[in-house]
Structure 1
């Protein structure tokens, strides 16, 4: 994204590509027929970025990272994200509102980008989180008025924003290749 740490740039690009694949995949749970090819294409592009930049991350692992000295805080943040997502899904399941699970997980993921941006010293990660939170809030009225699974809305939002962010990050990283 917008970091001065090459390894972090490569890793974030790879991770966002992989997570785009995951979210586009989740969106394939209940898509309209005309979305399927686009969701599949997004998944393939995400995997391509993940593989390419995963290899670059491994090749540059000896480079410094913004996380040096902060790995414990990174672990706390990820653990809090997992607990919040899991607890929210458990509550939704018990309330018979499991169709909202993808939306809830998306909100937790987007929100975790804000403190993650501080740890990574990368404002670009925060921008992604803010854009995602705004987009996820915009779809709430539509989700309330329907009985479709939230993966139909949350998956494409998360997949598209992560794929676009990974692509932008790849372009930014290109001069370093």
Structure 2
């Protein structure tokens, strides 16, 4: 991403890699047959970035972070994200629309990247969120026309955008380590 904080940069790559693994995994709930290998490859790549940059985060833990003095706001943001995602999923389930849960969680995650970018002092995180929101908005009509789970489309959108962001960020970060 685009921050001056090496520790935050490494952590973001690791976290985006881990979350790419999660989203590609959720996409495997009901994928088209031709997507299965690619979803698996994305999962493996995501875990690779998570492990490699998790180690680099640990090695750089003593370096400054944009979150210094902002941990309470970070915690509040994450709590709000969890409550919004959970409440929305509960409402969807009660309305018999649980197939939309992956899409809803994806929208909540994408929206949370906007204030997170401010906390991390990293415009790249906001760009990821905006790209995700546009892509998720673009698949609503396709999802309405089916009865399958929204993870079929939301998972690859989120997984691919997070993995691409991790790759770009890793390429920016690695030479300076």
In structure 1, C-alpha distance between the alignment counterparts of 2:109 and 2:125, rounded to whole Å: 11
Tell me the equivalent position of 2:71: 71
TM-score (norm 2): 0.99
In structure 2, C-alpha distance between the alignment counterparts of 1:37 and 1:25, rounded to whole Å: 12
Q: What is the CA-CA distance between 1:176 and the residue it aligns to? A: 1.6
In structure 2, C-alpha distance between the alignment counterparts of 1:174 and 1:40, rounded to whole Å: 25
Structure 2 residue 117 is the aligned partner of structure 1 residue 134: no
In structure 2, C-alpha distance between the alignment counterparts of 1:32 and 1:142, rounded to whole Å: 14
In structure 2, C-alpha distance between the alignment counterparts of 1:32 and 1:153, rounded to whole Å: 10
Tell me the equivalent position of 1:100: 100
In structure 2, C-alpha distance between the alignment counterparts of 1:176 and 1:61, rounded to whole Å: 16
Instruction: Name the SS of the counterpart of 1:148 in structure 2.
Output: coil
Q: What is the CA-CA distance between 1:125 and the residue it aligns to? A: 0.1
Q: What is the CA-CA distance between 1:169 and the residue it aligns to? A: 0.3
In structure 2, C-alpha distance between the alignment counterparts of 1:24 and 1:154, rounded to whole Å: 9
Q: What is the CA-CA distance between 1:148 and the residue it aligns to? A: 1.1
In structure 1, C-alpha distance between the alignment counterparts of 2:176 and 2:39, rounded to whole Å: 30
Q: C-alpha deviations, 1:76-106, integer Å up to 9, x for none?
A: 0000000000000000000000000000000
Alignment of 1:22-171 (within 5 A): 22-171=22-171
Stretches (4+) displaced over 2 A:
none
In structure 1, C-alpha distance between the alignment counterparts of 2:111 and 2:2, rounded to whole Å: 18
Instruction: Name the SS of the counterpart of 1:149 in structure 2.
Output: coil
TM-score (norm 1): 0.99
Q: What is the CA-CA distance between 1:174 and the residue it aligns to? A: 1.5
Uncovered stretches (5+) of structure 1, i.e. residues with no partner = none
Q: What is the CA-CA distance between 1:131 and the residue it aligns to? A: 0.1
Structure 2 residue 1 is the aligned partner of structure 1 residue 8: no
Q: What is the CA-CA distance between 1:17 and the residue it aligns to? A: 0.3
Q: CA RMSD in A?
A: 0.4
In structure 1, C-alpha distance between the alignment counterparts of 2:61 and 2:28, rounded to whole Å: 34
